[in-house]
Amino acid sequence: MRKDPIEWLLRGLYSALLYLLLPITVYHLVWRGFRVREYFNRWNERYASYAQSCGRPRVWLHAVSVGEVNAAAPLVNALRAQRPDIRWVITTITPTGSERVRALWGEAIDHVYLPYDVPGSVGRFLGHFRPSLALILETELWPNMLFGCRDRGIPVYILNARLSARSLRGYRLLAPLIRRALRTVACVAAQSQDDAERFVALGARPQQVVALGNLKFDIAAPEHLAEFVAEFHRQVPAVRPVWIAASTHEGEEAAVIEIHARLRERFPELLLLWAPRHPERFARVEAAARERGWGVATRKAQRWPDASSDVFVIDTLGELMAFYACAQAAFVGGSLQPVGGHNLLEPAAVGTAAVTGPHLHNFSEISRRMREAGAVAICDDAAAVAVVLGRLLADPAERSRMVEAGLALVANGRGAVERTLQQVADDLPPLAGEAAVAD
């Protein structure tokens, strides 16, 4: 293969910069470790140093954190059912993503952290796991990893690909390198036509890009959901008003406290289920609720709220959708601050009316479709969130209309998993018998 001198120059400059910055990664891991203890563990994986040999090749899927793992789960499960012979390795960047992988698949799937994007680590990772196919979720564009896959003949698919206008602008500095890296991939399977067009603007060839829809619409309700909700209501009578504040971030927590205080003036028995986005926030939101004089219980300590609970902190992972189903109305966080929002389809899929803030650039297509369908209320600020939540808690008919719209939207949006399966089918590793014939 003829080498592109500009590519090699750009890769060299990019890699040299990353090597210079590599010592800072140690400080970053230490700093994160003081907030989330899991960051102190498994540093060897961050630099692609592995103790044992790998065995036969894998299909590799990368999902940066919990949301991406959840989005990938229906696809992985469908492929595992279709091809139980395939060995998998899934990489994440965050410990919460790692926990979610283990909660979904246990030891049936290998998991390591994605190594830093320096040539040495990339080479060791690819040489160790020898993936025959790479499936990358959403917007994880690491140039050395993409070039490394190309150089080893590993087809790469960017699945459920999304690229906001803000992210497109953010790539401008690396645009010449990203453009060349993007053109190494087999396919960019975009969530929407707008995302597809932005990937082309970033540098992908039009023939590489296809809009297959959003895997998040193929979301499945948790197993045994009815039993979970029934157990919740054995502790909390169904007539008691309940709302949930989900995936909240640090800058939103004071707003949640004030919203709950305001709503309790109207609904004195109101119960708040509170699920902060990051585990390091669990103890802090519990303390903030106690400071207001409220009775507080937590999932780990008490398992369920009771009559004395004013706030119930969900300090576990993987149970958010089940708790959504226990509430009459939900506030989905990451939206009062410019975080970009979180998955609005999760409450919709279990029949809970959803309210969110205005900052939704990570879910622009989903939020637009839900708003047009009447399946979500998008509010300008925390005061408006409180007003809409109060209206929903007081008006079962309005809640019902929103719930029905959400359930219909989720049902009508399904199908991206099947389309994605068809897209990647030709690059799945051959069955053992087929490989022997080919040899």
C-alpha 183/C-alpha 208 separation (Å) is 8
What's the CA angle centered on 98, arms 97 and 102, to 5 degrees?
A: 115
C-alpha 186/C-alpha 191 separation (Å) is 16
C-alpha 32/C-alpha 144 separation (Å) is 25
pLDDT attached to residue 80: 95
Contacts for 318 with CB less than 8 Å, ≥ 6 apart: 99, 100, 103, 104
Q: Strand, helix or coil at 113? A: strand
Q: Along the 439 residues of the chain, how does pLDDT read in single tens digits?
A: 567 889 999 999 999 999 999 999 999 999 988 888 899 999 999 999 998 776 677 899 999 998 899 999 999 999 999 999 999 999 999 999 999 999 999 999 999 999 999 999 999 999 999 999 999 999 889 999 999 999 999 999 999 999 988 888 888 889 999 999 999 999 999 999 999 999 999 999 999 999 999 999 999 888 899 999 999 999 999 999 999 999 999 989 999 999 999 999 999 999 999 999 988 899 999 999 999 999 999 999 999 999 999 999 999 988 999 999 999 999 999 999 999 999 999 999 999 999 999 999 989 889 999 999 999 999 999 999 999 999 999 999 999 999 999 999 999 999 999 999 999 999 999 886 554 444 3
Provide the Cα torsion 423, 427, 431, 433; round to 10°.
Answer: 120
Select which of 68, 138, 252, 253 is catalytic: 68
pLDDT attached to residue 173: 84
Provide the Cα torsion 39, 41, 43, 46; round to 10°.
Answer: -60
Q: Mean pLDDT across the chain, nearest whole number?
A: 93
What's the CA angle centered on 33, arms 28 and 38, to 5 degrees?
A: 125
C-alpha 345/C-alpha 330 separation (Å) is 12
The one-letter amino acid at 395 = D
**DSSP notation for 123-144:** HHHHHHH--SEEEEETT---HH
Token pair 């808690």: residue:
393
**Where do the H-state alpha helices sit in 36-140?**
43-46, 66-82, 95-105, 119-129
pLDDT attached to residue 41: 93
Count of other CB atoms within 10 angstroms of residue 248: 26
pLDDT attached to residue 199: 96
Contacts for 146 with CB less than 8 Å, ≥ 6 apart: 156, 181, 182, 184, 185
pLDDT attached to residue 55: 66
**DSSP notation for 345-376:** HHHHHTT-EEEE-S--GGGHHHHHHHHHHT-E
Active site residue 68: yes
pLDDT attached to residue 350: 97
Tokens standing for residue 305 = 């709220």
C-alpha 113/C-alpha 42 separation (Å) is 8
pLDDT attached to residue 57: 76
Contacts for 41 with CB less than 8 Å, ≥ 6 apart: 95
pLDDT attached to residue 438: 45
pLDDT of 173-223, one tens digit each? Answer: 899 999 999 999 999 999 999 999 999 999 999 999 999 999 999 998 888
The residue among 193, 216, 203, 218 whose CA lies nearest residue 342 is 216
